[in-house]
Structure 1
Amino acid sequence: MKNAYQPPCTITAEILKLAADISEQIGRFSVSHLSDSALRLRRINRIKTVHGSLAIEGNTLSEEQITAILEGKRVLAPPKEIKEVENALGVYDQLEEWEPSSLNDLLKAHQVMMSDLIIESGQFRSSGVGVMKGQDVVHMAPPASMVPTLINQLLLWVKESQDHPLIVSSIFHYEFEYIHPFADGNGRMGRLWQTLILSRWNPLFAWLPVENMVFKHQKQYYGAIEASTRCADTAAFVEFMLKAILETLQDVSQTTPGVTPEVTPEVKKLLRVLKGEMSRTELMGKLSLKDEKNFRLRYIQMALEAGLIVRTIPEKPNSRLQKYRLSNRGMNYQKRLKKA
């Protein structure tokens, strides 16, 4: 049965322009995550992501302290804040395993994020909750009894929506904060899940420190949430998030030199068999592969990150009709493979 739920959002000219600018910026981004220098960049950006998302919630640990925790070093800091970092690092490491429209995955991710921090980790809240600003209640979340239905409707909408993933992910983020489904951890989970939705559109987003940019504009972040709540329209928040994403891309592109992709043996095999437009099933058959997860991570995702292949339905990365074709860069590389 088709989902009747439709989050209220006016798609403004500004939203469409920002989405187009981001898509263009992504298309020009040439950093490959297959080289040693890019792996180092991924690590740095992951630390920035965790730092930004937790700092918004009041965690005082620095990027240097988070790096030390990642390296297994001892850090002198409040145990609760150390645990928040450990949990966040753990959940972002599992990002590739979660499915954006899965309720079970959402609950599993919350369990990892809030393990040993709250009793109800991995469970929806059992009581009412209000969002405070100083001494004032700025938002009363829906009753706890409504949370399961609202979240299920929202996840189904994410799965079925025909809107651009940049817009879908931002609307989800706002709606998730409005529902406030958990006793704690709603902010970090909303930001995590937006990153997850975007990473299914383009794997580059798994490593972009958008959360850190949101932290830099924290006042505007909360202001955009309040504006959307007042107007009963998510447009203000969507515009804010798209501006943060675009600024993150511009910041990373200015500080990161272009890297020529170092193509792995798996990607070379993929490029040798890809002709025209082919589905995952067709490609796995040509390569005599049976492990779908291994194929997705080591073949498809690596080739997408290197800009060697593109999706035929980029706005719906998980579509059952999805196919892949060579990009211009991929066609040039395929020609070099044939000559080799």
Structure 2
Amino acid sequence: MTYQLPFTLTAKTLNLIASISERVGRLSALTEQAQALRLRRVNQIRTIQGSLAIEGNSLSVEQITAVLEGKPVIAPPKEVQEVKNALAVYERFNNWNPLNETDLLDAHRILMLGLVDQLGAYRSGGVAVMSGLQVVHMASPVNQVPRLIIDLFGWLKNTDHHPLIASAVFHYEFEFIHPFADGNGRMGRLWQSLILAKWNPLFANLPIESLVYAHQADYYQAIGQSTAKTDCAPFVEFILSIIQQTLREQLTTTPQVTQQDTPQAVQAILQQQPGLVAYCQTPRARAELQAFCGLKDREHFRKNLLKPLLEAGWLQMTLPDKPNSPKQQYFCAKGV
């Protein structure tokens, strides 16, 4: 008998798919035009920060960037190890096949290296999904885990559902089974991104998990509602709404540098650093901007990038009366 997952296709889900597909097309054109390597890097770091924060990791985007660059970070060793593992996972992201169970186990081995004893192996005991001190869900019996995972991958290989739906259903069912002793949330979110990236490469670095973290209570609530209804439609709707919001944010902040009133030198900077304007929607310190641009020489950065953007009005100071203040930050002053 064909493995059937408890899912009802709702009108809201169909509307979300239409909206997401339209936004994916628009954003793909923009990012391809801009060749936004820096933007993809920032999004990847935001994804890692969001996913780990859901699990209690306290490292900031700036600290994760420092780990990526091999700089020392003052933080609990376990949290630094989690970041290093996540960075290693994304280095291999494009090599994994979302339909391959062996790749799932390999990803878990890398993601949880130095954090758990059972690496790349399914759990040997019972486990529960927790939200704080509250039990959200009791996982499947341990003796059923291998069979359930095989059935889930079989469903994924044969389903006719749109990848947006299939990835969300897989994510929920993976969390329902909870196959590993630890790392299930990270693995479920990673595997959904992997499924979506095979549909459209844009999803490889779309920071969906940042918004999931911002709506963490709703995330667990959607899991609980789906479990109570024996129907994962609430979770699918939640995840698709998060994807829709993420795409809306990306479209809002992806710069288009064709304004005729922009000096040529500034246009060149924005084309070379296509994610800079989006990054500066939040005020940033000089060191953050310099690290984002990948420039090691502080004077070169100040003279050839920061100063022209300030003079052209693309960036403004948070403390204009104290330009040399150590608390000085810079933000984007132009619409995008």
Q: Distance in 2 between matches of 1:53 and 1:174?
A: 16
Q: Which residue of 2 aligns with 1:70?
A: 68
Q: TM-score, normalised by structure 1?
A: 0.73
In the other structure, the counterpart of 1:148 is 146
Aligned counterpart in structure 2 of residue 254 of structure 1, from 231, 252, 262: 252
Q: Which residue of 1 aligns with 2:189?
A: 191
Corresponding residue for 1:127?
A: 125
Q: 1: CA distance between counterparts of 2:78 and 2:163?
A: 34
Please tell me whether the aligned partners of residues 131 and 220 of structure 2 are also in contact (alpha carbons under 8 angstroms).
Answer: no
Instruction: Name the amino acid aligned to 1:45.
Output: N
Normalized against structure 2, the TM-score is what? 0.74
| Alpha-carbon distance in structure 1 between the residues aligned to 2:23 and 2:256 | 13
CA-to-aligned-CA distance 1:14-69 (integer Å, 9 cap, x gap): 00000010001112222335856x00001100000000000000000000000000
After superposition, what is the alpha-carbon deviation per residue over 1:241-265, rounded to whole angstroms, capped at 9, x for unaligned?
00000000000110012489xxxxx
The structural deviation recorded for 1:213 is: 1.1
Gaps (5+ residues) in structure 2? 259-336
Measured against aligned partners, the alpha-carbon deviations of 1:226-247 in whole angstroms (never above 9, x if no partner) come to 0000000000000000000000
Q: Which blocks of at least 5 consecutive residues in structure 1 are unaligned?
A: 261-340
- What is the 5 A alignment of 1:105-254? 105-254=103-252
- Report sequence identity in percent: 58
For residues 259 and 203 of structure 1, do their structure 2 counterparts lie closer, same or farther at Cα, with a shift above 3 Å needed?
A: farther
1:137 is displaced (CA, Å) by 3.1
Alpha-carbon distance between aligned partners in 1 of 2:140 and 2:250, rounded to the nearest angstrom: 38
Residue of structure 2 in register with 1:10 after alignment:
8
The structure-2 alpha-carbon separation of the partners of 1:199 and 1:76, relative to structure 1 and needing over 3 Å to count, comes to: same
Number of residues of Structure 1 aligned to a counterpart in Structure 2: 257
The answer to whether the 8 Å contact 1:166/1:242 transfers is yes
Query: What secondary structure, in the 3-state scheme, does the structure 1 residue paired with 2:30 have?
Result: coil
Match of 1:306? Answer: none
Q: Per the alignment, in what secondary structure is the counterpart of residue 202 of structure 2?
A: helix
Structure 2 CA distance for aligned equivalents of residues 82 and 213 of structure 1: 22
Q: Give the equivalent residue in structure 1 for 2:85.
A: 87
Letter in 2 for 1:158: L
| Paired residues of 1:173 and 1:191 also in contact (CA < 8 A) | yes
- Structure number with bigger Rg: 2
Q: Is the 8 A contact 1:172 1:194 kept in 2?
A: yes
Distance in 1 of aligned mates of 2:68 and 2:32 = 20
Note the C-alpha offset of 1:132.
Answer: 3.2
> What per-residue deviation string (whole Å, max 9, x for no partner) do you get for residues 262-319 of structure 1?
xxxxxxxxxxxxxxxxxxxxxxxxxxxxxxxxxxxxxxxxxxxxxxxxxxxxxxxxxx
Q: Give the secondary structure class of the aligned counterpart of 2:124.
A: coil
8 Å CA contact 1:31, 1:259 repeated in 2 = no
- 1:94 deviates by 1.0
1:35/1:186 CA distance change after superposition, 3 Å: same
1:115–1:121 contact (8 Å) kept in structure 2? yes
- For residues 28 and 34 of structure 1, do their structure 2 counterparts lie closer, same or farther at Cα, with a shift above 3 Å needed? closer
- Structure 1 distance, partners of 2:118, 2:2, is 30
Return closer, same or farther for 1:134/1:178 CA change in 2, 3 Å cut-off. same
Is the Cα–Cα contact under 8 Å of residues 128 and 139 in structure 2 kept in the other structure?
yes
C-alpha distance in structure 2 between counterparts of 1:173 and 1:162, whole Å: 17
Instruction: Report the Cα distance in structure 2 between the residues aligned to 1:216 and 1:195, rounded to whole angstroms.
Output: 18
Which secondary structure state, in structure 2, belongs to the residue aligned with residue 90 of structure 1?
helix
Partner residue in 2 for 1:32: 31
What is the alpha-carbon root mean square deviation over aligned residues? 1.5
Shift of 1:138: 3.1
